[in-house]
Amino acid sequence: MVDQAKSDTLPGDELARIRNKGEVPIVAKATSRDRGIGPFKRLALRSATVIDGTGAPPIGPVDILVEDGRIVSLKKVVGYGAGPSEPADHEINCRGKWVTPGFVDCHAHAGVAYHSANGWVPPVDYVYKLWLAHGVTTVREMGSMNGLGWVIDQRQRSQENTIAAPRLLAYAYFPAVNDMVKTIYTPEQGREWLRKVKERGADGIKFFGAPPAIMEAALDECKKLGLRSGCHHAQMAVTRMNALTTAGWGLTSAEHYYGLPEALYEDRVVQNFPLDYNYTDEYFRFSISGQMFGQAAKPGTRKWEETLEKFLEIGFTFVPTFTIYDANRDLMRARQAYWHKDYTWKSMWDYFTPQRGGHGSYWYRWSTQNEIEWKENYRLWMAFINEYKNRGGRVCAGSDSGFIYQIFGFGYIRELELLQEAGFHPLEAIRAATSQGAALCGIQDEVGTIDVGMRADLLVHEHNPLTDFKLLYGTGAMRFNDATNAVEWHHGLKYTIKDGIIYDTEELLADVRELVKASWESDVPEKYATKIAAE
């Protein structure tokens, strides 16, 4: 068990107190906005082809009129070039371009203090700009690892648009598991803690498990308080309650895959762990996890069907975060991704490299057999998630970047690719990334679709994103030009608009490249230098 947070730590800050080794957050806050133009009294997007986020096919040309950060008019244009008579303070010519809602990342972290083990931790500006440059305009911050107070501060600044950042939702870590931070020992303590974080302004709760009586009481209290919840059903807790158990108690969403194969077990309760297994050894933890679905009921069996239907009856949500375990299927591919050279922070890269004690840095002896097992694990996992979606269940896009060779923004686009691999039509993947994510967060009346009255969270694409999600990567997609006999890199996302403020994605990416270059040269800009308190 790790040392527990001090008794004077505010509710919701317990994990940050341990991770930050003291009072001062390791990840530097954003305090000002140096990018983005607007908001404008009236903004017009002229002659766009609209993908509205509901799953409906593209339609266009359409003029979108925005006033004070909200959509006030959608008008189908009769013939290209024709527009509404209303004047605008600023216009974007979207002829030959596509417009989608901004993306919702349903499982993300605004910087990772773990990276301090390997040097200077990137400021959150690095994270925000990568998110915005990849179209992420809303983030469900799962666990508030920098502290609930830290996230609430950043949430307020984002709401006021005084920083260049997506909309933030603050989910506090529930301190009730022995292998992380545990300060809650009874159901009533759990209820009281939840009332306090609600008073502080939390939007929801991130669980890793808890003793069943505490977990059931906590989920009951969440419902009473209007707090949404997500759970990483950690292996140390899952034998006492799998994802179906907690769904029945009122959990809003299951994160990753933990708890789902256990709900599908029909001839066991406990995974067939090697007898010399040790959860603290990260190689054991993640290599053996690749065997989970292979021990569960297979697609189409009675147990598989019954489990599907039970989740559907509850109205449960899955946030699979396929992307964060993608390296397990092909480590070399993940390590050699195009973007690492210019966009991966030095301390992050060093943290990803095998090292004892680093969460997700477990490549001590990764083998062909490990990758084969994980490929089969994905095949079965994806089959369940796709079928759940096909029967009307909600599936949302989340990235969990900052670990396992996945970096912010790029990891989210990879999630869209993996949803398509799972069987989602590209329109369904966009739907998971927009309207479904907004509904999970309870903000579907504000963001997630393109309609009158919605906030102007909009993405302007140079190319049709449905044809290839690789176009959305900051590095673009490689194409060959027959006329010039040369390779070109086509970038799809031109502008990210959040609350009517327009961000040029290339400007954001250029800023990130400069910051990353400085991280490798150890030239820390003064405004990002953060003193780390002594442990």
d(C-alpha 360, C-alpha 106), whole Å: 20
- Report residue 516 CA to chain centroid gap: 21
Give the pLDDT mean for 325-354: 96
- Whether 7 shows a pLDDT value over 80: the answer reads no
The distance from CA 223 to its chain's CA centroid, rounded to whole angstroms, is 23
Per residue in 414-434, pLDDT (tens digit) is 999 999 999 999 999 999 999
Q: Which of the four pLDDT bands, split at 50, 70 and 90, describes residue 347? A: very high
pLDDT of res. 525: 59
Q: 314 φ, ψ to 5°?
A: -70, -30
How many other CB atoms are found less than 10 A from the CB of residue 270?
A: 11
- Check pLDDT > 90 for residue 221: yes
pLDDT at 150 over 60: yes
For 62-95, write each residue's pLDDT tens digit. Answer: 999 999 999 999 999 875 545 445 789 999 999 9
**Can you name the residues that pair with 388 across neighbouring β-strands?**
none
Domains and CATH numbers, the chain: 103-441 (3.20.20.140)
**pLDDT (tens digit per residue) in 26-64:** 888 999 999 999 999 999 999 999 999 999 999 999 999
Q: Are 228 and 204 in contact (CB under 8 A)?
A: yes
Res 435: pLDDT: 98
> What proportion of the chain, given as a percentage, has pLDDT over 70?
94
Output the pLDDT for position 83: 46
**pLDDT by residue (tens digit) across 101-126?**
999 999 999 988 888 888 888 999 99
Residues 6+ apart with CB under 8 A from 484: none
Find the mean pLDDT for residues 259-272: 94
Tens of pLDDT along 227-255?
999 999 988 888 899 999 999 999 999 99
Tell me the per-residue pLDDT of 298-311, one tens digit each, with 9 for 90 and over.
999 999 999 999 99
Give me the amino acid identity at 500.
Answer: G
Distances (CA, A) of 254 to 401, 404, 409, 501: 17, 20, 22, 33
List of residues 6+ apart from 523 with CB closer than 8 A = none
Contact between 374 and 294 under an 8 Å Cβ cutoff? The reply is: no
Q: Do residues 262 and 246 make contact, with C-beta atoms less than 8 angstroms apart? A: no
Quote the pLDDT of residue 120: 87
Structure confidence by residue, pLDDT tens digits, 401-418: 999 999 999 999 999 999
Within 8 A by CB and 6+ apart from 398, the residues are 105, 106, 107, 108, 140, 142, 255, 319, 320, 321, 415
Quote the mean pLDDT of the chain. Answer: 93
